[in-house]
Amino acid sequence: MTVQKIIIDTDPGQDDAVAILLALASPEIEVLGLTCVAGNVPLPLTVKNALTICELAGRSDLPVYAGCESPLERTLVTAEHVHGKTGLDGIALPEPTMPLAGGHAADFIIDTLRREPAGTVTLCPIGPLTNIAAAFRRAPDIVARVKRIVLMGGAYFEVGNITPAAEFNIYVDPEAADIVFRSGVPLVVMPLDVTHKVLTTRARIAAIAALGTPAAEAVASWTGFFERFDKEKYGSEGAPLHDPCVIAWLLKPELFEGREINVEIELEGTYTTGMTVADWWRVTDRAPNALFIRDVDADGFYALLTERLARL
């Protein structure tokens, strides 16, 4: 078994939390650290939530770093309307006691990429791309050392969830997204087009709750909270587990289907700032820069998630 070394860059967020638990439960993945960014809620809360999740998973040894508290060039937009005031509403968990690692998240990303052999570390951003772009700006030499970036962000057929045209992670920091999408690093993109297909139906969450572990109980409560927003908005049966798609792709890419296409980030649109302009139909001659995922075997995804959560 080849173990994939990853850094998860995150703004937890209930779906971020499920992604982190899925990674920590999977022996094929070595999480080198969590880097926190402002996004769903301000940085102090995303940091606190990341520590809480590590302790829930019994991984108080894992280094957790605080990163950028605001986007590169814009004012922070948050999503308490989806994730609640704490960002991790749904179940009361103990205040974390494990220490935060010293130093800035971007420096941890830089140091790790310089230390590890080139082409062996995958970056998994599941929040706004500020920390990744900050690291690339500060240390352009690391860009060529990244194996791949597998990220949750963007939308094409589903268009936007924070504006009519833009998905939240890209909208919050489009300049950072632009740096990442132009970096030349191989990208795998999980847009809303695929994440809206992995819905937390009652039966799927009941199967997780039946595991009866503290982690499973937390996942069931978080998704219960998080669901109400999408049920009201889309009339769907449950909520999309956006961020865990990133980890599921690393574990079982055969569950997903997409196309190698060109994706540009809209930076100046009057109504479309933060839109991922995806050339799905290849109507331009712009070179492909991303594997843009559109389809998933949702039952296979939940079977994987449930089996892994059982190990925590």
Active site residues: 242
Pick one of Ca ion, ligand BDR, none as the site partner of residue 168 (Cβ within 5 to 8 A by kind): ligand BDR
DSSP tag of 274: T
Does 173 bind Ca ion (CB under 5 A)? Our answer is: no
Q: What is the DSSP letter of 148?
A: E
Segment contacting Ca ion (CB under 5 A): 12-20, 68-76, 193-201, 205-213?
12-20
**CB 60, min distance to ligand BDR, A:** 23
Exactly one of 4, 6, 14, 16 binds Ca ion (CB under 5 A); that residue is 16
CA angle (245 as vertex; 29, 165 as ends), nearest 5: 140
Q: Which one of residues 6, 13, 41, 57 is an interface residue with ligand BDR (CB under 6 A)?
A: 13
The DSSP string of 179-230 is HHHTS-S-EEEE-HHHHTTSB--HHHHHHHHTT-SHHHHHHHHHHHHHHHHH
Find the farthest-apart pair of alpha carbons in the chain and give their distance in angstroms, rounded. 53
Shortest separation between residue 116's beta carbon and Ca ion, angstroms: 25
Amino acid at 55: E
**Among candidates 24, 22, 27, which has minimal Cα distance to 1?**
27
Residues 116-135 that bind Ca ion (CB under 5 A): 126-127
Among residues 173, 230, 243, 279, which is the contact residue for ligand BDR, using CB under 6 A?
243
Indicate whether 79 belongs to the interface with ligand BDR (CB under 6 A).
Answer: yes
The answer to whether 126 contacts ligand BDR (rule: CB under 6 A) is yes
Q: Of the ranges 160-168, 229-237, 245-253, 268-276, which one interacts with ligand BDR (CB under 6 A)?
A: 160-168
Quick one: what does residue 9 bind among ligand BDR, Ca ion, none, with the CB cut-off 5 to 8 Å set by partner type?
none
Within residues 38-67, the interface with ligand BDR by CB under 6 A covers 40
Q: Which region, judged by CB under 6 A, interacts with ligand BDR, from 12-20, 23-31, 41-49, 251-259? A: 12-20
161 belongs to the binding site for ligand BDR (CB under 6 A): yes
- Does 169 contact ligand BDR by CB under 6 A? yes
CB 152 within 8 A of CB 180: no
Peptide bond just before 300 cis, omega within 30 deg: no
Give yes or no for residue 265 binding Ca ion (CB under 5 A): no
- For residues 241 and 164, give the distance between their C-alpha atoms in angstroms, rounded to a whole number: 20
DSSP class of 104:
B
What is the rounded CA–CA span in Å between residue 26 and residue 282?
Answer: 36
Q: Where are the strands (E) in 79-161, listed by range?
A: 121-125, 146-152
* Binding site residues, Ca ion, CB under 5 A: 11, 13, 16, 126-127, 243
* Binding site residues, ligand BDR, CB under 6 A: 13, 15-16, 40, 79, 82, 126-127, 152, 161, 167-169, 242-243
